[in-house]
Amino acid sequence: MKASLSKLRTLFLLGAITLILSACGRENLTALVPKGYGADESMKLILLTTIVMTFVFLVVIIALVLVIFKFRKKKGDPVINPVQVEGNKTLEAVWTIIPIILVVIMAVPTVVATFQLADTTDQESYINIDVTGYQYWWHYEYVNEEITTSQDMYVPVNTKVYLNLITKDVLHSFWVPSISGKLDVNPENVNTMFIEAYEEGVYFGKCAELCGPSHSLMDFKVVVVSEEEYDQWVKDMQDFDSEELELDTVAAEGRALFEEKGCLSCHATDSQNYTAGNQPIGPDLTQFADRSRFAGILEPTKESLTDWIKDPDAIKPGNLMTGTYGELNDDEIDKIAEFLLQLSPSDVTAASKE
């Protein structure tokens, strides 16, 4: 009875672990379901390493079990003093050479992949985006297209996109697990990587370097669209002029307040504002209404937006927006939110890809 109870307990434990671990990955936020070149290369290396390690594990465990059970002293065996040996050149050579071979098997493809992923010789022929990390958001400048945006990065499917990474403040790390490996974002030198996504969709990106109290909220998205949609999006972004937006009365009042209250001194509402190379203070809001999330984690709804404007620090501790603007009453917040939720330059949106 006792034995079967403990067996049951072990089974239950195993089941629980399987259940918990199986929920570890989200399909658009996991390196284990690769949807891009870099992630694919990483996955191949993960598999190779796992196979080699499993082989080592099995050999060691089998040898151990064999030794324990085969050579243990059995009932009635005479007490003997085993022959004392020392040094065995053949054995020592074997257990030195085998690990070296195993390390080479893992090292060669790793080094090859590392160099391939760092190769930027064809950079000029592809889309280039200057990516700047800020506490706790990301700014994107599409170099040749001369458009800027933040948080949601639009890229075409099945083509290389080069990212030139730098930070305005502390160290960050750019990581879209489903599409590529991560790369450090330093303040003094530009680090370049490329991403190439194989499937359309919205992929979740994470800052992978501890950068302050809201590090875990420094999320972003890579929106992978078809080539036609990408061209359309670029054109829409280039043509967009928020002054020309036809707004309803409330939103128009919101736009006036947005300027009056100084929001505009940190947040652009037109992509063109930075192309001269000036740097933004706060996230570019050009396509705010099209965002998959804002402030990294919030759905772009009226409710979450008013909550955010009321007290950003309650949602994202340590963000630099808190305390930079005066008191706004509920009515003013409501109008500003209404305005932001109409900033939609294009029909190509993250929502249409989610």
Among 243, 222, 49, CA closest to 150: 222
Q: Which is nearer to ligand CUA, 113 or 297 (CB)?
A: 297
Q: Is 316 in the site for ligand CUA (CB under 6 A)?
A: no
Among 146, 148, 182, CA closest to 165: 182
Q: In the block, which residue shows the tokens 């680090």?
A: 191
Q: Kindly determine how many residues on this chain lie close enough to bind ligand CUA according to the rule CB under 6 A.
A: 9
Provide, rounded to whole angstroms, the least separation between the CB of residue 137 and ligand CUA: 9
Q: Which is nearer to ligand CUA, 216 or 322 (CB)?
A: 216
Provide, rounded to whole angstroms, the least separation between the CB of residue 171 and ligand CUA: 8
Instruction: Among 172, 291, 316, 353, indicate the residue that binds ligand CUA (CB under 6 A).
Output: 172
Answer whether the bond into residue 198 is a cis peptide, omega within 30°.
Answer: no
Q: Is 131 in the site for ligand CUA (CB under 6 A)?
A: no
Q: Is 215 in the site for ligand CUA (CB under 6 A)?
A: yes
Instruction: Among 41, 145, 196, 209, indicate the residue that binds ligand CUA (CB under 6 A).
Output: 209
Q: Which is nearer to ligand CUA, 218 or 251 (CB)?
A: 218
Q: CA–CA distance from 59 to each of 64, 250, 320 (Å)?
A: 9, 72, 55
- The most distant pair of C-alpha atoms in the chain lies apart, rounded to whole Å, by 100
Identify whether the C-beta of residue 220 lies closer than 8 Å to the C-beta of residue 138. Answer: yes
Please state, in angstroms and rounded to a whole number, the distance separating the CA atoms of residues 331 and 206: 34
Identify the bridge partners of residue 129 per DSSP, sorted by sequence position: 142, 163
Provide, rounded to whole angstroms, the least separation between the CB of residue 210 and ligand CUA: 6
Q: Is 163 in the site for ligand CUA (CB under 6 A)?
A: no
x/- track of binding to ligand CUA for residues 218-257 (CB under 6 A) = x---------------------------------------
Please state, in angstroms and rounded to a whole number, the distance separating the CA atoms of residues 351 and 289: 10
Q: Is 207 in the site for ligand CUA (CB under 6 A)?
A: yes
Provide, rounded to whole angstroms, the least separation between the CB of residue 208 and ligand CUA: 7
Q: Cβ–Cβ contacts within 10 Å for residue 250, how many?
A: 15
Beta strand spans in 186-305 (E): 191-195, 201-207, 220-225
Contact residues toward ligand CUA (CB under 6 A) are 133, 136, 172, 207, 209-211, 215, 218
